[in-house]
Chains A and B, each alone.
Chain A
Amino acid sequence: MIAIIDYGVGNLRSVQKAFEKVGHNAIVTSNPKEIENAKAVVLPGVGAFAKCIGNLNEYGLVDVIYKTIKAGKPFLGICLGMQLLFTEGEEFGIHKGLDIIKGRVVRFPATSSNNGPLKVPHMGWNNLIIKKDAPILSDIRNNPFVYFVHSYYCVPEDSSVMAAVTDYGLQFTSTIWKENIYATQFHPEKSQEIGLKILKRFGELS
């Protein structure tokens, strides 16, 4: 069973349905015991960084996230769930993240590298440029399109955790892989077949 952490934000049903579609059982839960007993854990998320960190604390779910990661279980952060893993985020002021991946979460600049205006949020389908053969990307070839919707992006201190990058005004980290920790800035549950392949692989890791 895969546990999808419910901390009062976002559209969790889509994540659950996507796992079920590819043959993995998944539950949406805010019960730390259930999360601890799961074979793999997913931290989804949309909305604002500060509110999400606040909710994780309020729901008493921070410890179980650290425990899961320490136990070596496959862990997947999606979108804001990826950003929360970082040291700090600068959305609506500087806020501490979970500090599981060293680095910061910063806003897209107003202009791109060629000085054209850059629309923010980065919304829609963009390419995944694969840098490292992360297990969850093992079925993925040819820089496929995946679905993004975000205004902030992650800047890891250690570039070796970058499994894929994406171009939007600049090149940003769109997939992370570090030991048992995986994270995607895009939404695999909204990325049609490509996304389903990624979730299928993730479910098979445990």
Chain B
Amino acid sequence: MLAKRIIPCLDVKDGRVVKGVSFVNLRDAGDPVEVAKVYDEQGADELVFLDITASHEKRKTIIDVVSRTAEQVFMPLTVGGGIKTLEDIRNLLKAGCDKVSINTTAVENPEFIKEASERFGSQCIVVAIDAKRAKGQGSGVKGQEYLQAPMWEVYTHGGRKPTGIDAVKWARKMEEYGAGEILLTSMDRDGTKDGYDIELTKAVSEAVTIPVIASGGAGNLEHLYDGLTKGKADAVLAASIFHYKEYTIREAKEYLRKKGVVVRL
């Protein structure tokens, strides 16, 4: 049986992990390779590096991070953030990256996803969708009535720019254009630790026939379970619950297995 995947995500800026990772026995909590090794030992199924480097000149550093990680960690690596050209993708793949996650560039130029998937194969093209509930439309806020079916709007530029695009329709379009996977982040839930937006996750998972990774809001192990079962996600991505050693990946998987979810242990 295909196992549900648990994917830790590392924010990398100028070649260093930011947002803080606190493991015991870690020589250097800022070195992505060191952190990747810990997650590898804990049994992570994949690793996502989110490159939040602002300046273009420093973009090369993520290539170096990937190639140093790929020398020591033998599991799938995904890089997201700032990917604009086919050359960017080629350089990352050559360095040892397996998949790239594309958000803003996909919205600005959907044809790019077509070109990229034809050139490199759908399996390595992940489309990242940052989605936010449109106001007054089933916003999920306590006390506020659902005016109509929930609708989520796609945002770009790291969540700063609304696009007016419906997230569920967008996911479907990206699948048509050759995306091999959707990385779906709820902006309403991101950082809240209130759990994934289950309605959003389920709506997108059911709308497409490619795998969906739920992201944004995981605060405990039950949230992971809900994302995979009620949300019908194929994988769950989390950052802080693993970084601050609230749970190890292994603990998360043992919990899920006990509840009947197929995981790789």
Q: How many A-B residue pairs have CB under 8 A?
A: 95
Asked if B203 CB lies within 8 Å of chain A CBs, one says no
The CA of A124 and the CA of B123, in the complex, are separated in Å by: 11
B235 contacts across to A, CB distance below 8 A: 124
The CA of A126 and the CA of B124, in the complex, are separated in Å by: 18
Q: A124-B3, A124-B5, A190-B74 are in contact. Are A119 and B123 (CB under 8 A)?
A: no
B4 contacts across to A, CB distance below 8 A: 124
In the complex, the answer to whether B121 meets A127 with C-beta atoms within 8 Å is: no
Which interface residue of A120, A125, A126 has the most chain B CB atoms within 10 A? A125
Closest chain A residue to B121 by CB distance? A47
In the complex, the answer to whether B76 meets A126 with C-beta atoms within 8 Å is: no
Tell me whether chain B's interface is mostly helix, strand or loop, or mixed: loop
In the complex, the answer to whether B95 meets A21 with C-beta atoms within 8 Å is: no
In the complex, the answer to whether B211 meets A126 with C-beta atoms within 8 Å is: no
Asked if B70 CB lies within 8 Å of chain A CBs, one says yes
Chain A interface bracket (under 10, 10 to 19, 20 to 34, 35 or more): 35 or more
Instruction: Find residues 144-162 in chain B having any chain A CB closer than 8 Å to their own CB.
Output: none
In the complex, the answer to whether A18 meets B2 with C-beta atoms within 8 Å is: no
Asked if A88 CB lies within 8 Å of chain B CBs, one says no
The CA of A24 and the CA of B6, in the complex, are separated in Å by: 31
Closest 6 interchain pairs by CB? A47-B121, A145-B264, A125-B264, A149-B123, A125-B3, A13-B96
Residues of B within 8 A of A (CB): 1-5, 40, 45, 67, 70-71, 74-76, 93-98, 118-124, 180-181, 209-211, 234-235, 264
